[in-house]
Structure 1
């Protein structure tokens, strides 16, 4: 089980290897949201998303023999790129199982970063089965995208930064909105905030129709999504919360939030216009929640984790149409 001790230990290993991302503000976003909005742009992290944190944490925690054998991961793209780069920087071979319908940018980047990409059909094949079979066949260490204690620990370092940055700003109470797939980032941040910023409340944000975490929190037990694909927020489409992450989410998080595809695209457009950052739709659902679900948020301040920016140009252009 992931704990605050693992997160703080991961933070020591991540020093000098990850970027500490700032908190960005815009009076225009404040006006839309009806409160002060602080955006943490993890789209500026190495490989364009927070996933590099967890990948570095997991690979840096491996023993020499495990590193020599290599690692394997499955991902729609952001965890893929994070693992590929972290592995390369450690001199470790990586194999990445990716859905064939993943954005081409993410597939190309993963290959360019040194990952051996194995494609699969998201609708008819199981990435978990493929990943576990290849791991056994080639004696590779499997690094799961969210249900992995050292990955959760790495993602939790985002929460340590939020706690320190908000304290410096004099913000002690706020909802912290987090783009959520399987819950690794959300649970890691929630654990960090529990100790270092107890006035902050983590909240999961998802696309409508793929809001398994929101429904699971409401039901008090894990709920599944009916579909595996079919939403523009590809980065956070997971079947259900993780077995490790969900107990943490249930204990520490407030009610989940969900937004439409159009609202996610509108948030991408606003992030570009007002903050000059590029987000992918899945990395913008937390900002969309702050802007378009303001009646479901409490307090005068809200913290938004903009989790990733690996979007194809065509999708980004579609988002910018909402500015006209």
Structure 2
């Protein structure tokens, strides 16, 4: 960390923003996690911004930015582009401040996010298949109509609003040693890191800040290596809320100076984290909001002393949740799909069922066909999906089938 106090908002700015943001944002709970604490070897607490109004921390930066608009700017309205959380934050803030909001969203946006944005009173325009197209459309709208563009992360007022999360963390965990933060464009981590590092410098203590990105959308590691914000090619990720191709310019400067480490997590890591949060913590968290926990589960971070993982959002489409849970079960060794070639004679399916019962595997789905590609006339293909209790039990199921002379194939 170098010259943190000289980059971006000051502590006084963050304290002032807390008074503003507090008009609409809740002080979200801090929940301890025994499971994660045992895994990490240090106390782990979860900062539950998934329980924030509108379902994410985004309301903080949006409201702080929009509260600073002049009366004349407010009459022109605001415009933003988002696939979900920023849209809802802007729409809610606009309603509270009496401002007309126009939000551009991708055509394929999840229905719950679309409906929530409309319910907050925003005029929603669907445009394109990725967030890039709505962003361009929003900029054009601002130029044509005079509406004020509210950026999702790259603005000092937005950063200051998001940084109020850091002030709450210090109030709730005074002996904080490490905080783990999801990163997309960098609005949340730049605000939180700036607060924590400036307070640590003032108080003569150390606080580590670790950022986490989805491996399929990780612009910060190469940017930090290059010393400047780079644009990358994003590949599909379930953590769409942090799928940003290029760091914000202000955000990058702060992250470069104030963040100790940035790590990445895989799709499987994220799916396992979402499942763990549902089962162990009884918390609904969207994939992007769960990557800090994913980093702990994947062994990507080390910490000593009280550690806070920020759950940045909870806005997840139920259909996506269903798919992610299934993926998480499979990634955790608790869901297994087997492909078994069988001789085409009576009793084979019953025999497989007996073996699975002996191994205490619960059958979920069975597909038995003579028409698979590459099958011999005397063969049938059996695809069977079973629930298992974890990796050891999964291997036992496979071993039982192999011991009986079968050759189960699985991913």
**1:121 aligned to 128, 133, 144, which one?**
128
1:11-50 mapped onto 2 (5 Å cutoff):
11-50=18-57
Secondary structure at the aligned position of 2:79 is classed as: strand
**1:105 aligned to 109, 112, 121, which one?**
112
Contact in 2 for aligned 1:209/1:225 (Cα 8 Å): no
Task: State the match for 2:378 in structure 1.
Answer: none
- Asked if residue 179 in structure 1 is aligned to residue 182 in structure 2, the reply is yes
Q: Which moved more, 1:5-14 or 1:147-156?
A: 5-14
Contact in 2 for aligned 1:29/1:274 (Cα 8 Å): no
Tell me the distance in 2 between the aligned counterparts of 1:269 and 1:252.
31
1:115-264 mapped onto 2 (5 Å cutoff):
115-122=122-129, 126-167=133-174, 171-174=175-178, 176-198=179-201, 199-227=206-234, 230-264=236-270
**CA displacement 1:22-57 (0-9 Å, x = unmatched):** 211121222233332111010011100000111110
Tell me the distance in 1 between the aligned counterparts of 2:30 and 2:222.
29
Tell me the distance in 2 between the aligned counterparts of 1:104 and 1:82.
16
**1:2 aligned to 8, 12, 16, which one?**
8
The TM-score, its normalising length taken from structure 1, stands at 0.93
Q: CA deviation at 1:121?
A: 1.9
Q: Which moved more, 1:149-158 or 1:269-278?
A: 269-278
Q: Which moved more, 1:232-241 or 1:196-205?
A: 196-205
Secondary structure at the aligned position of 1:284 is classed as: helix
Tell me the distance in 1 between the aligned counterparts of 2:147 and 2:95.
15
Tell me the distance in 2 between the aligned counterparts of 1:77 and 1:68.
25
Q: CA deviation at 1:91?
A: 1.0
Q: Which moved more, 1:229-238 or 1:194-203?
A: 194-203
Tell me the distance in 2 between the aligned counterparts of 1:252 and 1:100.
37
Secondary structure at the aligned position of 1:86 is classed as: helix
Unaligned runs of 5+ in 1: none
The TM-score, its normalising length taken from structure 2, stands at 0.74
**2:324 aligned to 316, 319, 322, which one?**
319
Contact in 2 for aligned 1:155/1:184 (Cα 8 Å): yes
Secondary structure at the aligned position of 1:256 is classed as: strand
Task: State the match for 2:354 in structure 1.
Answer: none
Q: CA deviation at 1:126?
A: 3.5
Contact in 1 for aligned 2:104/2:135 (Cα 8 Å): no
**CA displacement 1:229-258 (0-9 Å, x = unmatched):** 521111111111111110100001012111
Q: CA deviation at 1:319?
A: 3.3
Q: CA deviation at 1:17?
A: 1.8
Q: CA deviation at 1:125?
A: 5.5
Tell me the distance in 2 between the aligned counterparts of 1:94 and 1:319.
32
Task: State the match for 1:297 in structure 2.
Answer: 302
Tell me the distance in 1 between the aligned counterparts of 2:167 and 2:131.
39
Q: CA deviation at 1:120?
A: 2.1
Q: Which has the higher contact order (CA 8 A, sep 6+)?
A: 1
Tell me the distance in 2 between the aligned counterparts of 1:146 and 1:115.
20
Secondary structure at the aligned position of 2:249 is classed as: coil
Task: State the match for 1:310 in structure 2.
Answer: 315
Q: CA deviation at 1:308?
A: 0.3
The higher radius of gyration belongs to 2
Unaligned runs of 5+ in 2: 1-6, 335-411
Tell me the distance in 1 between the aligned counterparts of 2:70 and 2:135.
23
Tell me the distance in 2 between the aligned counterparts of 1:17 and 1:26.
28
The alignment covers a number of residue pairs equal to 318
Tell me the distance in 2 between the aligned counterparts of 1:270 and 1:125.
32
